[in-house]
Amino acid sequence: MFAATPATSPVRGIFLMISAVTVFTVMSAFIKAVPNVPAGEAMFFRSIMAMPIILIWLIWQGEWPGGIRTNSVRNHAVRGLVGSAAMGLGFAGLKYLPLPEVTAIRFATPVVMVILAALMLGERLRLIRISAVATGLVGVLIIIWPRLSFGLDNTEALGAIMVLGSACLAALAQVFVKGMSGSETTAAIVFWFSLTSTLASLLTVPFGWVWPNPGEAAFLVGAGLVGGMGQILLTSSYRLADAGVLAPFTYVSMLWSVVIGYIWFDEVPTLPMLFGAALVILAGVVIVLRERQLGSNATARRKVSAKGLQ
């Protein structure tokens, strides 16, 4: 499908990234459309229905079965369980909060990732990163404060806490992926996560799965299929363009969530939510641009050092 594409093609990479965040937003809408289905059951359909699409893609890319070989089953299992918990909490939160609000809170993931990378990987926090993190956290607080101000015993507060927990766990999963990237292929990371999340979702069966009606089943199957497509589009976009180029376009999901939330669920975003989302997006863009600058500087220093040795 994408095997014949050139090594780098920023325009195509941007197109694939926009397509990926679009289908992921549609996937979230499908999950939100089945509020009576437990989050664990929704995660099962999301994961297992994506597996055939991922397998076909791996075969098409020539990465099956060699591409899924791993050096550490344990690392994949840990990353998979953390990512599964993030997915489950996110799906649960969709039942209690508007779609745009869930999307906005999820934007906190790169902000939290900076903090976790400093704690777990020893990455240095300089003034720009610290300022961006502080801005992002203020934005998140602005978004969730109206929900928390009603008291912690209401469903909106529970939903906000769930989605924020999902964003934090997603950041932790990305830190694990970052640590694995030097020894594991992208194909292995994608495949083993899908398998792990499918198996992990089965652990929630005792907590009360329901038999979906035909309409609910269609949404659940659709969520899995478009979720699998989203993973392929996302992975392919990073093969064609740098993360620093693509990152700003991930926020297109905010636009789609507002449109879908208004048309499908009759949800109107509030001004505090939009302002908080703007701060979180700003923080995320600053972090990504700073990472890109540091990466460029490191590359330049390596080139200078290499010339000095010639």
Q: What pLDDT score was predicted for residue 293? A: 67
- Which residues constitute the domain of residue 14? 10-124+150-268
The answer to whether residue 289 is domain-embedded is no
**How many structural domains does the chain have?**
1
Please give the Cα distance from 133 to 123 (Å, whole number).
14
Residue 99's pLDDT band (boundaries 50, 70, 90)? very high
Whether the predicted pLDDT of 302 surpasses 50: no
More confident residue, 176 or 93: 93
CA pseudo-torsion sign 181, 182, 187, 189: negative
pLDDT band at 222 (very low <50, low <70, confident <90, very high): very high
Per-residue pLDDT band at 310 (split at 50, 70, 90): very low
In the predicted model, is pLDDT for residue 172 greater than 80?
yes
Residue 282 within any structural domain of the chain: no
3-state secondary structure the chain: CCCCCCCCCHHHHHHHHHHHHHHHHHHHHHHHCCCCCCHHHHHHHHHHCHHHHHHHHHHHCCCCCHHHCCCCHHHHHHHHHHHHHHHHHHHHHCCCCCHHHHHHHHCCHHHHHHHHHHHHCCCCCCHHHHHHHHHHHHHHHHHHHHHHCCCCCCHHHHHHHHHHHHHHHHHHHHHHHHHHCCCCCHHHHHHHHHHHHHHHHHCCHHHCCCCCCHHHHHHHHHHHHHHHHHHHHHHHHHHHCCHHHHHHHHHHHHHHHHHHHHHHHCCCCCHHHHHHHHHHHHHHHHHHHHHHHHHHHHHHHHHHHHHHHC
* pLDDT confidence of residue 238: 75
Residue 260 falls within a domain, yes or no? yes
**Across residues 128-153, what is the average pLDDT?**
79
Is 142 a domain residue? no
The per-residue pLDDT for range 55-73, each reduced to its tens digit, is 998 888 888 888 888 888 8
Mean pLDDT check: name the lowest of 9-18, 95-104, 260-269, 286-295: 286-295
How many C-beta atoms lie closer than 10 Å to residue 55's C-beta? 16
What is the Cα gyration radius of the chain?
20
Alpha carbons 140 and 76: distance in angstroms, whole number: 30
- Highest-confidence segment of 148-157, 200-209, 283-292: 200-209
Mean pLDDT, rounded, for 154-160:
86
- CA 160 to CA 267: how far, in whole Å? 16
Average pLDDT of the residues of the chain: 83
Residue 151 binned pLDDT confidence (cut-offs 50, 70, 90):
low
Question: Is 130 part of a structural domain of the chain?
Answer: no
132-139 mean pLDDT: 87
Q: What percentage of the chain has pLDDT greater than the value 70?
A: 88
Tell whether 138 is covered by a domain: no
| Spatial distance between the Cα atoms of 229 and 202, rounded to a whole number of angstroms | 23
- pLDDT-based confidence at 39, cuts 50/70/90? very high
pLDDT higher than 70, residue 96: yes
Q: Does 301 reside within a domain?
A: no
Whether the full predicted model's pTM is greater than 0.85, yes or no, is no
Contact 249, 14 (CB under 8 A): yes
Give the integer Cα–Cα distance in Å for 215 and 85.
26
